[in-house]
Amino acid sequence: MRTIMNKLYIAGLLLAGAVLFASCKKELPEVKNTQVVKMAGTWWVTMSLNGAPQLDGDHVQINTFNTAADDGKQMWVQDEGLGFDFQSKVDVNLSDLTFSATNAKDENSAATVTITSGKVFPDGGKSKAGHVTDSIYMELQISSDPGKKYVVAGVLRTKFDEDDY
């Protein structure tokens, strides 16, 4: 008799657990990429002026990311190490992964930013350790440093420790 009661008790516990588990199932939201996902990221770049390396030739970071509108027409370019500390919106063309800006407002100062020949090249670069990754190129002018056109170029950060500068 006791064995039957134990089996019924265990069966009841299992049934109750199954009902609780089934009722706790959550519906997860669908995760979508931003419109500029193919152009967005953290980049390790160098900067040169008239072919001469700037910043002692060091690799520094810039970021590209979507705007709040996420309409595929603009993205942000943010300086994290070039020394200008700018953040400006640039116009994008998603079909050829190009971007540009003419006298765009810098969100961090009174300066304006002009970017020409901006382009992302999928699988167009190699990281520090030799991993294939995207690359970026742009020509940059800042109104606070007039008359100078800097070339900024580099690769997408892979997040592997051996690729960080």
C-alpha span between 147 and 117 (Å, rounded):
17
Residue 68, SS3?
coil
Establish if 2 belongs to a structural domain: no
Establish if 159 belongs to a structural domain: yes
Establish if 13 belongs to a structural domain: no
Phi, psi for 79 (deg, rounded to 5) = -80, 125
Q: Report the CATH number that the domain containing residue 102 is assigned in CATH.
A: 2.40.128.220
Q: Which two tokens stand for residue 30?
A: 């669908």
pLDDT of the chain, 165 residues: tens digit per residue: 556 655 555 655 555 555 555 555 678 888 789 999 999 999 999 999 999 999 998 999 999 999 999 999 999 999 999 999 999 999 999 999 999 999 999 999 999 999 999 999 999 999 999 999 999 999 999 999 999 999 999 999 999 999 999
What is the model's pTM? 0.81
Find out whether 62 and 43 touch, Cβ atoms under 8 Å.
yes
Find out whether 152 and 45 touch, Cβ atoms under 8 Å.
yes
Number of folded domains in the chain?
1
Establish if 96 belongs to a structural domain: yes
Establish if 11 belongs to a structural domain: no
C-alpha span between 71 and 91 (Å, rounded):
11
Establish if 143 belongs to a structural domain: yes
